Every structure is written in C-alpha cells, then in structure tokens.
C-alpha cells in the first residue's frame, strides 16, 4: 500500500511540474508567466492521467505464484502431477518432483529433502 501511495505522490509532483512548465513552453515568444488556477488544474489532471496510464501499461507483470505453506500437489497443463510435498515460503521443502519429457511421458522422479533435489526414486 505504501508503494502505491508513494508512486502516486511522485506522479502528482511531476504532473504539477509539467503543468507549470508546459503552458510556458508552448508560448515561445512570450515571457514566462504563472499559469492560472484553471490552466494549472487542467494541465496537472491531464498529465497525471497520462503518466498514470503510461506507468500502468509499462508495469512489469509478476507471473510468479505464491504457494502457501503446507502440503500441496501441483499439476501442469495436462493435469499431470509436477510437485507433491511440503512447501514453505513458496518453495518445496520435502516431497517429490515429477519431470516429464517433451512428448508428455514421465522421465523421472526427483526426491526433495530439506529444499534440495536429489537422486531419482
């Protein structure tokens, strides 16, 4: 929550700066003047919306799935089991990992003990 509030406040500050600079930037031959409240509000709102949309579109997507603590069985797209056992902090602690070939047949099963995968079963 703090991260989103900080991003929004930084975006608002940059938008306010843009709202002050842009009206003067577009008037090349005139001296620099302070924008009116209406112009300042319109420029701030417009640039805030544009920056927010730009940041939202370019935000990296977190595709990682957080596995809750406890015993779980994970399956792949073909509903074949991939991992089975105890998980802690999203990582497998104990159990088995089923490894499949490209054609979908079972290649081998690895045993997980204390977070490390070892020999085939």
* Shared-domain flag, residues 19 and 52: yes
61-113 tens-digit pLDDT: 766 668 888 999 999 888 999 999 999 888 889 999 999 998 989 988 999 98
Q: State residue 72's pLDDT score.
A: 92
- Residue 109 CB contacts under 8 Å (≥ 6 apart), including other chains: 96, 97, 98, 99, 120, 121
- Rounded to whole angstroms, how far apart are CA atoms 121 and 111? 7
Q: State residue 95's pLDDT score.
A: 93
95 domain-assigned: yes
* Shared-domain flag, residues 77 and 50: no
63 domain-assigned: no
* Shared-domain flag, residues 52 and 75: no
107: domain range? 70-120
The count of structural domains within the chain is 2
Mean pLDDT throughout 2-18? 84
Q: State residue 18's pLDDT score.
A: 85
19-67 tens-digit pLDDT: 888 777 777 777 877 778 888 899 899 999 998 898 888 887 766 668 8
């Amino acid at each position: 929550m703090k991260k989103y509030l900080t991003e929004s406040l930084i975006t608002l500050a940059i938008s306010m700066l843009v709202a002050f600079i842009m009206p003067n930037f577009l008037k090349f031959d005139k001296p620099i003047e302070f924008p009116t409240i209406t112009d300042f509000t319109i420029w701030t709102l417009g640039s805030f919306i544009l920056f927010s949309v730009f940041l939202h579109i370019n935000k990296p997507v977190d595709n990682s799935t957080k596995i809750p603590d406890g015993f779980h069985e994970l399956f792949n797209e073909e509903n074949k089991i991939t991992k089975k056992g105890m998980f802690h902090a999203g990582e497998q602690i104990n159990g088995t990992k089923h490894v499949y070939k490209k054609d979908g047949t079972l290649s081998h099963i690895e045993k997980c003990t204390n977070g490390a995968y070892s020999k085939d079963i």
